[in-house]
Amino acid sequence: MTVRRRLTAIAGLRRWLGSSIGIKRWLAVVFVGELGLALGGAFALRQLYRDVVITGPLQSVVSVITLQFLPYIVRALILAVLGVGVFAFASYRVLQVLMGPYRSEDDEQPLVELIYQKRFLARGPKIAALGGGHGLSTLLRGLKEHTSNLTAIVTVADDGGSSGKLRDQLGVPAVGDIRNCLVALADAEPLMSELFQYRFPGEEAPTSLAGHAIGNLLIAAMTAVEQGDFEEGVRRMNRVLAVRGQVVPATATPVVLHAALRDGTLVDGQSRIARTTGVDSVWLSPEDVRACEDALEAIAEADIIVIGPGSLFTSILPSLLLPDIRQALAASSALRIYVCNVATQAGETEGFDLADHVEVLERHTAEGIVDIVLANNRTTATALPAGRRESVRLRWPPAGPHPARLVLDDIVDPASPIHHDPERLAAAILRIAEREGAARRRNGVARTA
């Protein structure tokens, strides 16, 4: 056996005997049962030896088979070692047979790693993440490596591209951001994820497949299968892609995002607002839209609520503008973290600093809606390569009597200075949660609604 294989075997043994898989207790129960059977057999053999007298050449054969020529302690030790080895090997083979049908042919992970991962993730914190666009997908890719108790609450205000065409044709809410989040959390084959993201080429035409992503069409089709129940259709897509956690829409009703600019001009539609400079405030129509029950339940049960990262006016605020979600956030005792973007966005948040982001967020929701603001610790005012984008400057605190506490961390992607790194961002959020949890335990208090 090579050194590498030997180390892998040792690591696998540690996984089996660790505390995260939860298998030791049942192995102990099985061992107790086997011990009872062994003792029963031993008593039966002992009685047989007393009742049956073996003489002649057969006596020597029996003596060799039963190791009677060895001291009693040596015999017991040999049988114990042999029994443990056979028991361990048989248990491992049984687990392989039971788990074999659930593994893909291309999956090279050892069985113990798969079981450890599932058990470890199932014990992770309950996290609800609100937002949309590429920012939420980035966050989910990092968090799913630490917990499977993860709910992505996704905005449905998009009215451009494939989502906009399906919305106009079929009356379903925007599905593009939901598709991206499903792929980010998927445990399915990579080929399935590639298929879900595939977009038909060609010139845009209202009645053709050109520009449509396969995933968008599948979500719309699943909604139709569920008799127009968009929320149930998304639930089914979670199961189709073997999502680690769940993706839920903020609302099952198509909504339109409106904006008022600082000069008084009104702009309608998420896609137009995203390209507009000088946005002052945004709102939704219709105004009496109900949030999805799955979203409200996830917020109520969460240990951590993460808002962002993402486009402030067009990805984050549309979900927070729903009255039910605002009330659920205000009533939650979870740790609420706002993740500010690494860079400003040309048009939408051009010239915004850190305090501007938080002020806009609280002005559209409520003061104190978040407990922690997480920002990149390497922010500067220097221009970045992508057009007019620049790093978000660190002006702090924002206006208001009770500003959230600021936490700075290295969460930027080294390969892309305008984006977050999934692993670093997830690690920073969990460090904050660990520190805050320890502080609350020391103080013996928790925030109440």
CATH of the domain at 415: 3.40.50.10680
Does residue 397 have a cis bond before it (omega within 30 degrees)?
yes
Mean pLDDT of 339-347: 89
Of the residues 94, 120, 146, which one is the last residue of a structural domain? 120
Could you report the per-residue pLDDT of 283-298, keeping only the tens digit for each?
A: 999 988 999 999 999 9
Residue 272 domain-assigned (yes or no): yes
38-42, 232-236, 246-250, 289-293: the lowest-pLDDT one: 38-42
Q: How many structural domains comprise the chain? A: 2
* Any domain includes 96: yes
Task: Assess whether 60 and 97 both reside in one domain.
Answer: yes
Please, how many CA atoms are within 13 Å of residue 436, restricted to the half-sphere of its CB?
A: 20
Tell me how crowded residue 260 is: count the other CB atoms within 10 A of its CB. 15
Lowest mean pLDDT across 7-16, 28-37, 216-225, 336-345: 7-16
- Smallest CA-to-CA distance from 27 within 40, 13, 11, 39 is with 13
- Could you tell me if residue 187 is inside a domain? no
Indicate whether 39 and 133 sit together in one domain: no
Do 16 and 129 lie in one domain? The reply is: no
Tell me which residue of 350, 368, 347 sits closest to 359, measured CA to CA: 368
Name the range with the highest mean pLDDT among 4-18, 203-217, 229-243: 229-243
The per-residue pLDDT for range 89-118, each reduced to its tens digit, is 887 777 677 666 656 555 555 666 666 667
Per the domain annotation, does 309 fall within a domain? yes
Q: Are residues 147 and 52 in the same domain?
A: no
Token pair 């690494």 in the structure block, residue: 342
On whether both 294 and 374 belong to a single domain, the answer is yes
Token pair 């044709």 is found at 169
Q: What's the rounded mean pLDDT across residues 338-343?
A: 93
Reported as half-sphere exposure (CB side, CA atoms, 13 A), residue 394 has a value of 12
Q: Are residues 50 and 149 in the same domain?
A: no
- Say if 222 falls within a structural domain: no
Write down which residue in 103, 120, 137 finishes a domain.
120
Cβ contacts of 408 within 8 Å, gap of 6 or more: 374, 375, 376, 377, 394
Is 386 part of a structural domain of the chain? yes
Same domain? 291 vs 380: yes
Could you give the C-alpha distances from 349 to 176, 278, 394, 433, in angstroms and in order? 22, 8, 15, 28
Rounded CA-CA distance 28/35 in Å is 10
Same domain, 146 and 67: no
Q: Are residues 13 and 139 in the same domain?
A: no
All residues at 6 or more sequence positions from 341 whose CB lies less than 8 Å from its CB, including other chains: 135, 308, 309, 310, 311, 312, 349, 357, 392
116 & 256 share domain: no
* Average pLDDT of the chain to the nearest whole number: 82
Based on the number of CB atoms within 10 Å of its own CB, is 52 exposed (0-12), middle (13-18) or buried (19 or more)? exposed
Q: Which domain holds residue 391?
A: 125-155+250-443
Tell whether 45 is covered by a domain: yes
Output the pTM of the full model. 0.77
Q: How far apart are CA 342 and CA 284, in angstroms?
A: 26
C-beta separation of 349 from 307 below 8 A: no
Instruction: Quote the tokens at residue 21.
Output: 């898989």
25 and 129: one domain?
no
> Is residue 52 located within the same domain as residue 143?
no
